[in-house]
Structure 1
Amino acid sequence: MNTDQLIDALAREVTPVPRHAVGRRLAIGLAAGGVITLALIAWLLGFNPQLGAAIRHYSFWMKWGYTVSLGICAALATARLARPDSGRFGWLWLMAIPVLSLVAIGLFEMSRVPPAQWLAMWLGQSWSVCSSIVFLLSVPIFGGLLWSFRRLAPTRLRAAGATAGLTAGSWGATLYCLHCPEVSAIFVLTWYTLGIGLAALAGAILGPRLLRW
């Protein structure tokens, strides 16, 4: 049997992979982890009692626009790195757009208040716990993505772990908005981003161990 015959024999019983199989599997893991995170928020933190009024204010959608944008870019990059033939981070460069947009909003907000209020805007009421909570809320979502990766074939394990952590942190922060009463863009830019970054760092550290196949 020559090489071509061997390849034909090995490929004869292989069924084609459905289109968008990677995206669907990642979406299932992401949704499953998100449901657990949402349940934890309802159980341990509670939803913002003023949520009905908050969603009518631009600050809520500013937060959601920022975290959802990061989450979409990170998820697309994760889907790309879940394949063995991909060596690039793909969509991550687009994350500069929401980051720079939030910087601009933060500077605009600060320009409209006296400098004496800048520190209060930056720290808010929950700066000491915000990043930690975002990080912890990302853990179930990261676990869901790890489940997804069990049927996938990443080759850049550290990069895939980092983007999975980034995805988990971004969507964890998105759900945290349902509890968080903070309204300042500079607060979100600093403390939300720090929590998301910690999740990405944890994913990069754990990726080579947990994503090995």
Structure 2
Amino acid sequence: MNTDDLVRHLAKETRPVGRNSVARRLAIGMAAGGIGSAILILIALGMRPDLGTAMQGTSFWMKWGYTFSLAVAALMTTAQLARPDSGRLRGLWLLVIPVVLLAGIGFLELARTPSSQWLAMWLGDSWKSCPWMVLSLSAPIFAGLLWSFRRLAPTRLRAAGAAAGLSAGAFAATVYCLHCPEVSAIFVLTWYSLGIVLATLLGMLVGPRLLRW
């Protein structure tokens, strides 16, 4: 049997892969992990008691918009790195947009607030725990993305792990909004983002070991 015959024989039973199958599989893994993170919040932390009222204001949607848009942009990058032919990454600039917009909102908040209150705005009441909460809540989501990667074929494992960690951290921060009462943009930009960065670094660290196929 020559090489062409062997290739035809191996490919005979294969079925075409849908165009968006990779992104869809990653989204399923991330959504399943997000449900796990929400359950953790219900069991260990509880929903913020004024959630219904908070959702009628702009501060909640400011936080939610930042974390969710970052999660979507990170998932797009993860989908590219899940393929063996990822090549040059497209759309990385999308990750910058939520950060720049939130930074702009934060600076406007500071400009309208007396400087004596800046430190309180920045630290809030939970700056010590917030990044670690986001990192902890990212674990089920990262596990869901690892499940997604089982049928994918990443070759840039460290980058894929970092992108998966970024996706997990940003989506975990989105879920954390259901509990966190902080309203300052500068708080979210600093401490939410720190938790997301920690999840990204952890993903980069374990990626070469856990994503190997």
TM-score over 0.5 for the alignment?
A: yes
Structure 1 runs, 4 residues or longer, greater than 6 Å off: none
Output the CA distance in 2 between the equivalents of 1:132 and 1:34.
17
The more displaced of 80-89 and 192-201 is 80-89
Instruction: Work out whether 1:26 is the aligned partner of 2:17.
Output: no
- 8 Å contact from structure 1 (residues 169, 196) kept in 2: yes
Report the count of equivalent residues.
213
Output the CA distance in 1 between the equivalents of 2:195 and 2:168.
10
Output the CA distance in 2 between the equivalents of 1:134 and 1:91.
25
Matched residue of 2:129: which SS? helix
Superposed, which structure 2 residues align to 1:178-193 within 5 Å?
178-193=178-193
* Displacement after TM superposition at 1:95 (Å): 1.4
In structure 1, what is the equivalent of residue 140 of structure 2?
A: 140
Output the CA distance in 1 between the equivalents of 2:116 and 2:151.
54
In structure 2, what is the equivalent of residue 168 of structure 1?
A: 168
Superposed, which structure 2 residues align to 1:44-123 within 5 Å?
44-123=44-123
- 8 Å contact from structure 1 (residues 87, 156) kept in 2: no
In structure 2, what is the equivalent of residue 200 of structure 1?
A: 200
* Displacement after TM superposition at 1:193 (Å): 0.3
TM-score using structure 2 length: 0.97
* Displacement after TM superposition at 1:5 (Å): 2.1
The more displaced of 3-12 and 53-62 is 3-12
In structure 2, what is the equivalent of residue 150 of structure 1?
A: 150
In structure 2, what is the equivalent of residue 128 of structure 1?
A: 128
Output the CA distance in 2 between the equivalents of 1:146 and 1:56.
35
- 8 Å contact from structure 1 (residues 165, 203) kept in 2: yes
Name the % identity: 65
Output the CA distance in 1 between the equivalents of 2:114 and 2:14.
67
Structure 1 vs Structure 2 CA RMSD: 1.0
TM-score using structure 1 length: 0.97
The more displaced of 5-14 and 142-151 is 5-14
Matched residue of 2:128: which SS? helix
- 8 Å contact from structure 1 (residues 74, 91) kept in 2: no
